[in-house]
Structure 1
Amino acid sequence: MNKIRTLIIEDEPAIRKELQWLVSQQESLKLEAMASSVNESLQIIKNTEFDLILMDIQLTDGTAFDILNQLEQPSFHIIFITAYNHFAIKAIKYGALDYLLKPIDSDEFAAAIQKVSKVKQVDYITQLNFLKEYSAAKTIDMSSSICITSLDCMQIVRLNEIIYLSGEGSYTQIHLENKKIVTASKPLKYYEDILPGDFFIKTHQSYIVNKNFIDKYMKTGIIVMRNLAEIPVATRRKDFVIDHLNPLR
């Protein structure tokens, strides 16, 4: 079996050493090189082929985005390493890319590595394009799109096509116009964190609705959508939902 050729980009010596150890524990990985800056990384990437890059977001001379913006057709997968930057994480989630938070958990690292072989090249380029667009714009609106990891593919969905989302354990069903349903392999909480709160509201622990598709709110604690779907409103979220439906809000 061909091993996954890996590059580590990390400017903190302690984290770089930890990543080196984690890579050595994975039989499927082969560490080819390490870098600690944007310039050094670009030089290595231009001269060496990689299957995977473990990439710190914030580097001493720039960011991971400075590296990505200079790459046209990357042929490798990326797992971002970050100490948590809300905007960066949101951008990564919009592209359905992988990331690990510092300090790095060994089990989470192993799980992320298992995903690498499942992502096709064409899907990855699409994902990276989403990340570049989002990181350049720094804002999203309802005309924006999101990359959804479904059970058998990557699917591009515009936010203004989503009527509502329903959570089922570790999966989320995304109900679109034209009666389409996409089953995403992420829990509802994942989408709660990234969907714009001005348009999407959580009515219940298992439901998030697009306000633009709400037809009416029933006093029985039910929201009726334009497609006639009936969405429950949890008692503890009733005031929150009514407040968000107020046109003068």
Structure 2
Amino acid sequence: MNKRKALIIDDEPKLRQVLKVKLEKYCPSISAIEVAGNIQEGYQQASCFQPDIVFLDIAMPGGSGFEFLDQFEDINFEVVFVTGYNEYVLNAIKVSAVDYLLKPVNTEDLIAAVHKAENRIQNREKLRMYHVLRHNLNHIGEQETKIAIPGANTYDFIKVGQIVRCEGWQKYTRIHLTDGSCIVSSYNIGVFKDMLEDFDFYLTHKSHLINVGLIARYIKEGTVVMEDGSEVPISRRKRDAFLASVVERGKEE
């Protein structure tokens, strides 16, 4: 087993201690742990200690977690945000493919986050992910938000507004874009439903998720025509709910 070093940066002493104890007890791959109470101490520790994983609070007196990251020309460690932020900010984190833990930290979630970080240490695409996250925090709930779509070896970063629809396909999902192209993701459609439902996407069928803002026509027999000309079925049991929440709302607007 490869041994890893972890750095905890948080202004709450109790949180730092609890997290340190849990890492020592439940994450045997973590062989050394340092702590810091602010980004200045954290930068000094990171420069000398060379951690593999940094557990980083976002909002701290004296500087945010992003200001800590901005001090590095190259980020050569994995970051797991530890936050108490509300659900809207968490959604911005989630779609940016960046790991996070909610306070108070759940042990199983911590173990899972460490495993994910270890699996990604060889894949150094983080810097772009953090830029995407910062962009998303300025566009919370908007279709300017970018979503990270995982492929076999890379992530494609696409604005939510570019997605016309998602189509479940075997265990994968086809993402159809406004330019006519299509991306195949290793995530199933349920994952995209969770990611996109706060951005005005609607699951019309177990295999079809559509961008409500790009609906061109509704056919009363139970079909939606999208702006790209594609036709998407609405399951019989969802039609009444669709009419109430989408079609009637469109009339009011």
Normalised by the shorter chain, which TM-score bucket?
0.7 to 0.9
Sort the Cα spacing of 1:88 and 1:65 in 2 relative to 1 into closer, same or farther, 3 A: farther
Quote how far apart the aligned CAs of 1:9 are.
1.1
Which stretch shows the higher mean deviation, 118-127 or 8-17? 118-127
**Partner of 1:231 in structure 2?**
233
Q: TM-score, normalised by structure 1?
A: 0.83
Partner of 1:21: 21
- The 3-state SS of whatever aligns with 1:62 is coil
CA distance in 2, matches of 1:58, 1:22: 22
Indicate whether 1:40 and 2:45 are aligned: no
Q: Distance in 1 between matches of 2:217 and 2:211?
A: 13
Q: Which residue of 1 aligns with 2:63?
A: 62
The Cα of 1:217 is off from its aligned counterpart by: 0.5
Count of equivalent residues? 244
Q: Is the Cα contact below 8 Å between 1:163 and 1:210 reproduced in 2? A: yes
- One-letter amino acid matched to 1:210: N
Q: Does 1:146 align with 2:150?
A: no
Match of 2:33, as an amino acid?
E
Q: 1:179: how far off? A: 5.0
2:93·2:99 contact (CA, 8 Å) conserved in 1? Answer: yes
Is the aligned partner of 1:77 residue 2:78? Answer: yes
- 1:188 paired residue among 185, 188, 192: 192
TM-superposed CA distance for 1:202, in Å, is 4.5
Structure 2 distance, partners of 1:143, 1:38, is 30
Question: Structure 2: which 5+ residue stretches go unaligned?
Answer: none
More displaced, 207-216 or 121-130?
207-216
SS, match of residue 125 in structure 2: helix
**Match of 1:72, as an amino acid?**
E
Q: Which amino acid aligns with 2:70?
A: N
Q: Measure, in 2, the Cα distance between the counterparts of 1:124 and 1:209.
A: 29
| Letter paired with 1:30 | S
Q: Which moved more, 1:47-56 or 1:124-133?
A: 124-133
Percent identical residues: 27
Q: Distance in 2 between matches of 1:167 and 1:57?
A: 35
1:113 to 2:114 alignment: yes
| Alignment deviations for residues 83-117 of structure 1 (CA, whole Å, 9 cap, x no partner) | 23345323322321001111211111111111112
Runs of 4+ in 1 over 6 A off after TM superposition: 168-171
Return the alpha-carbon distance in structure 2 between the equivalents of residues 16 and 111 of structure 1.
Answer: 18
Equivalent position of 1:122 in the other structure: 124
- Matches of 1:30 and 1:122 in 2, distance apart? 22
Which amino acid is 2:82 matched to? I
What is the CA–CA distance in structure 2 between the aligned matches of 1:96 and 1:125, rounded to whole Å?
11
Structure 2: distance between partners of 1:40 and 1:169 = 49
User: How far does the alpha carbon of each residue in 1:170-221 deviate from its partner, in whole angstroms, 9 at most, with x for none?
Assistant: 9754333535242243613431355x33xx3444566431235423211123
- Structure 1: which 5+ residue stretches go unaligned? none
TM-score for the superposition, normalised by structure 2: 0.81
RMSD: 2.8
Cα 1:96–1:174 change in 2 (3 A) is same
Q: 1:240 aligns with which of 234, 242, 245?
A: 245
Aligned residues of 1:20 and 1:31 also touching (Cα < 8 A):
no
In structure 2, C-alpha distance between the alignment counterparts of 1:170 and 1:19, rounded to whole Å: 36
Q: Is the 8 A contact 2:204 2:234 kept in 1?
A: yes
Q: Deviations over 1:40-81 (max 9, x none)?
A: 112222333111001122223332122123222110111111
